[in-house]
């Protein structure tokens, strides 16, 4: 079996197990909570195994097994372990040991099962507590907050809840990550996370889409920022509305796990903020390589001391409200003030755009998903677009297919920003037909992404696909940035030969006259008989 086939088989088994878990919890736990419990236990397994993997490697004794130590013996290595890994777990509180204690045939199983909720709650509290006072404290704090092991959603009684938790531990423990853990953990745990998020978002309506950007779109955005650049120059990537972190983590997959990248992001939703940090850990990003902040990016940006960034990718929330001009401080904010006008209070889209432009390194690229109205609405948004075009900050506008994002069928677009352009034009790309239909969504395949990136890299015009338009011409056209205004779509209407049509009409008229004469003759004969 080829490596690719083996990976496909492992991935298939992984997905089957997750579905099996979903079946076990269906009816008692809704979609969002289900995802949270599975991710929480998956994360618990991950950090338990990564800790054991690390400690077993640093110990010179080849027969050493951290999981078999007593808690007292393990305490001697606590300080050094926290400094390196950012957290510490006692052997008795490791996922594998807690799981083993409630499996069939385990000694004292009934007692362990009776107190499983208490055991897990204490383990989670101790894991977070191990980082208190350390550099990793803010990265660990609150990670298990959404893992309520005493929730009635798991069952009406403690016994019912513990049985459900035991089943979760059992099923998560059966997930096959293939071969040596240290060789497979990144792809396996990351894939499990992405599959779970995709499964949830595709069935959960609008709220799911707020937290998850489809992987094909994430890949396109990340690769856009790398066009015509040395990838080794990308050291710091940023997403001001990072959601579950999928956009940021695409850089790890594209550039490789050994790439020296620091990840920065901010998220306003507490639950999603926790998801993002968990996702970082599940993709084997150590605590010292990411800085995810909680809060309102427009109102209280968290990374003033870290900007500018080598690459910015984002899928901001569409047309949400913000303070705008109601807060007089905003017009003097260096992020927003250069345009001389603020985005409307009812539509924060271009406020996010200006924020990202401000924090973009001179030679870097930003790729931002935008709501289509941003491209053509007048008023303040029109003035901001004029600022962007007049100062030659817009590299390209890419029209995406409809029905790509969870929770909306609207065809969105990507605006590509760059401060160091050498040409005074904008490349418009119509990728609205570059997709395949999978289920209820349209998706990009590798050939679609390559086609878009190739045209972007060469900045070339392709009939009915891409068009270069000078900035002055865009300004004359009311700064309309809609791709359809510049890229002519293929005319699928049937072409008509006018000469052939006239000949057919003449034949019809002649035939009509012939029929009329015959009818008149018949009528005359009938009248003669009468």
pLDDT at 210: 52
pLDDT in tens, 82-127: 999 999 999 999 999 999 999 988 899 999 999 999 999 999 999 9
Residue 25 pLDDT: 66
Check whether 206 has a pLDDT greater than 60. Answer: no
Q: Are residues 167 and 278 in the same domain?
A: no
Of 158, 187, 216, at which residue does a domain stop? 187
- The pLDDT of residue 515: 84
In a domain, residue 464? The reply is yes
Q: How many helices (H) and strands (E) does the chain have?
A: 19, 11
Distance, CA of 275 to CA of 269 (rounded, Å) = 10
Tell me which residue of 435, 438, 380, 382 sits closest to 411, measured CA to CA.
435
Give the whole-number percent of the chain exceeding pLDDT 70. Answer: 88
In a domain, 106, yes or no: yes
Residue carrying the six token digits 């968990």: 278
Give the pLDDT confidence score for residue 36 in this predicted structure: 78
Segment 347-364 shows an average pLDDT of: 97
Q: What distance in Å separates the CA atoms of residue 3 and residue 484, rounded to the nearest whole number?
A: 44
- Residue 498 domain flag: no
Sign of the torsion formed by the C-alpha atoms of 51, 56, 60 and 61: positive
Which of 109-118, 255-264, 382-391, 473-482 has the weakest average pLDDT?
A: 255-264
pLDDT mean over 158-169: 92
* The pLDDT value given to residue 56: 92
* Contact assessment for residue 352 and residue 240, using Cβ atoms and an 8 Å cutoff: yes
Q: List pLDDT tens digits, range 267-281.
A: 998 888 988 898 888
Pairing of strands 413-418, 360-370: antiparallel
Identify whether residues 180 and 216 lie together within a single domain.
no
31 with 110, same domain: the answer is yes
**Residue 71 pLDDT class (50, 70, 90 cuts):** very high
Pick from 45, 152, 150, 162: nearest CA to 113: 162
pLDDT band at 186 (very low <50, low <70, confident <90, very high): very low
Number of other residues whose CB lies within 10 A of the CB of residue 302:
18
Q: What is the CATH number of the domain that holds 107?
A: 1.20.1260.30
Tokens of 181: 């853990």
Q: What is the pLDDT of residue 80?
A: 93
The span from the CA of 327 to the CA of 81, in Å, is 46
On the question of pLDDT at 528 being above 80, the answer is no
Is 431 within the bounds of a domain? Answer: yes
Residues 121, 223, single domain; the answer is no
112 in a structural domain:
yes
Tell me the two tokens of residue 397: 């506008």
How does residue 492 score in pLDDT terms, banded at 50, 70 and 90?
low
For residues 80 and 154, membership in a common domain is answered with yes
User: Are 430 and 310 part of one and the same domain?
Assistant: yes
Q: 16-25, 42-51, 199-208, 319-328: which has the minimum mean pLDDT? A: 199-208
Same structural domain, 149 and 248: no
Where among 157, 187, 217 does a domain terminate? 187
Is residue 495 included in any domain, yes or no?
no
- What tokens appear for 249 in the block? 């983590």
Query: Given a cut of 50, is residue 24 above it in pLDDT?
Result: yes
Contact by Cβ (8 Å): 274, 146 = yes
Q: Is the peptide bond before 493 cis (omega within 30 degrees of 0)?
A: no
Residue 7: both structure tokens together: 């990976």
For residues 460 and 161, what is the distance between their CA atoms, to the nearest angstrom?
60
Pair (97, 221) in one structural domain: no
Whether 468 contacts 455, CB under 8 Å = no
**CA 355 from centroid of its chain's CA atoms:** 20
- Residue 524 is predicted with a pLDDT of 76
| Domain extent at residue 68 | 3-187
245 and 182, same structural domain? Answer: no
Q: Is residue 225 part of a domain?
A: yes
Report the range of poorest mean pLDDT among 206-215, 299-308, 339-348, 397-406.
Answer: 206-215
pLDDT tops 80 at residue 178: no
Position 66 pLDDT exceeds 90: yes
Average pLDDT, the chain: 87
The answer to whether 322 and 345 have CB atoms below 8 angstroms apart is yes
Beta-carbon-side half-sphere exposure of residue 376 (alpha carbons within 13 Å): 10
CATH number at residue 375: 3.40.50.150
Q: In this structure, are 11 and 68 located in the same domain?
A: yes
Determine the average pLDDT of the residues in 153-158.
Answer: 88
Cβ atoms of 356 and 366 within 8 Å: the answer is yes
In a domain, residue 491? The reply is: no
183 and 274 fall within a common domain: no
- Record the tokens describing residue 70, joined without a space: 């007593």
Q: What's the whole-number mean pLDDT along residues 495-511? A: 80
Has residue 191 got a pLDDT over 70?
no
Query: What is the share, in percent, of the chain residues with pLDDT greater than 90?
Result: 57
Q: How confident is the model at residue 442 (pLDDT cuts 50, 70, 90)?
A: confident
Tell me what pLDDT residue 205 has: 45
Last residue of a domain, one of 135, 157, 187: 187
Confidence of residue 500 (pLDDT cuts 50, 70, 90): confident
> Do 49 and 129 fall within a single domain?
yes
CA torsion, ordered 291, 294, 298, 300, to nearest 10 deg: -90
d(Cα 15, Cα 26) in Å, to the nearest integer? 16
Q: Residue range 378-405: average pLDDT?
A: 95
Number of independent structural domains in the chain: 2
């Amino acid at each position: 079996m080829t490596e690719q086939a083996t990976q496909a088989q492992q991935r298939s088994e992984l997905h089957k197990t997750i579905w099996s878990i979903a079946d076990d919890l269906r009816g008692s736990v809704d979609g969002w909570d289900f995802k949270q419990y599975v991710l929480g236990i998956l994360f618990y397994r991950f950090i338990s195994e990564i800790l054991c993997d690390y400690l077993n490697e640093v110990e010179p004794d080849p027969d050493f097994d951290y999981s078999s130590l007593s808690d007292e013996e393990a305490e001697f290595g606590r300080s050094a372990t926290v400094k390196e890994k950012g957290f510490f777990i006692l052997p008795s509180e490791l996922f594998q040991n807690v799981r083993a204690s409630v499996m069939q045939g385990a000694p004292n199983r009934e007692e362990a099962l009776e107190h499983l909720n208490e055991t897990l709650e204490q383990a989670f509290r101790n894991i977070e507590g191990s980082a208190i006072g350390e550099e990793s404290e803010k990265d660990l704090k609150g990670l298990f907050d959404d893992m309520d092991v005493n929730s009635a959603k798991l069952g009406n009684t403690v016994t019912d809840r513990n049985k459900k938790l035991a089943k979760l531990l059992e099923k998560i423990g059966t997930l096959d990550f293939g071969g040596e853990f240290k060789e497979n953990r990144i792809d396996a745990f990351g894939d499990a996370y992405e599959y779970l998020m995709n499964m949830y978002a595709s069935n959960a309506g609008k709220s799911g889409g707020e937290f998850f950007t489809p992987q094909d779109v994430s890949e396109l955005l990340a690769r856009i920022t790398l066009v015509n650049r040395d990838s080794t120059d990308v050291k710091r990537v940023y997403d001001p509305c990072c959601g579950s972190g999928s956009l940021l983590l695409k850089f790890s997959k594209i550039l490789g796990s050994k790439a020296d990248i620091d990840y920065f992001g901010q998220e306003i939703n507490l639950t999603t903020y926790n998801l993002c940090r968990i996702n970082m850990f599940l993709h084997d990003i150590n605590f010292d390589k990411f800085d995810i902040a909680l809060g309102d990016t427009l109102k209280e940006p968290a990374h003033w001391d870290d900007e500018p960034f080598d690459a910015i990718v984002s899928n901001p929330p569409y047309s949400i409200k913000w303070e705008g001009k109601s807060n007089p401080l905003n017009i003097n904010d260096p992020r927003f003030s250069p345009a001389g006008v603020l985005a409307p209070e009812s539509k924060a889209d271009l406020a996010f755009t200006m924020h990202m432009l401000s924090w973009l390194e001179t030679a870097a690229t930003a790729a931002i998903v935008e709501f289509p109205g941003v491209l053509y609405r007048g008023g303040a948004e029109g003035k901001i677009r004029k600022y962007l075009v007049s100062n030659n900050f817009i590299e390209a506008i890419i029209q995406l297919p409809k029905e790509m994002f969870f929770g909306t069928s609207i065809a969105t677009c990507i605006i590509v920003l760059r401060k160091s352009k050498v040409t005074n034009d904008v490349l418009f790309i119509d990728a609205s037909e570059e997709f395949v239909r999978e289920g209820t969504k349209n998706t990009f395949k590798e050939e679609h992404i390559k086609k878009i990136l190739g045209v972007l890299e060469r900045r070339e015009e392709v009939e009915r696909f891409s068009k270069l338009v000078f900035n002055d011409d865009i300004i004359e056209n009311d700064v309309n940035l809609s791709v359809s205004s510049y890229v002519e779509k293929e005319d699928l209407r049937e072409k008509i030969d006018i000469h052939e049509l006239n000949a057919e009409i003449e034949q019809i008229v002649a035939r009509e006259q012939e029929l009329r004469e015959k009818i008149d003759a018949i009528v005359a004969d009938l009248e003669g008989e009468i």
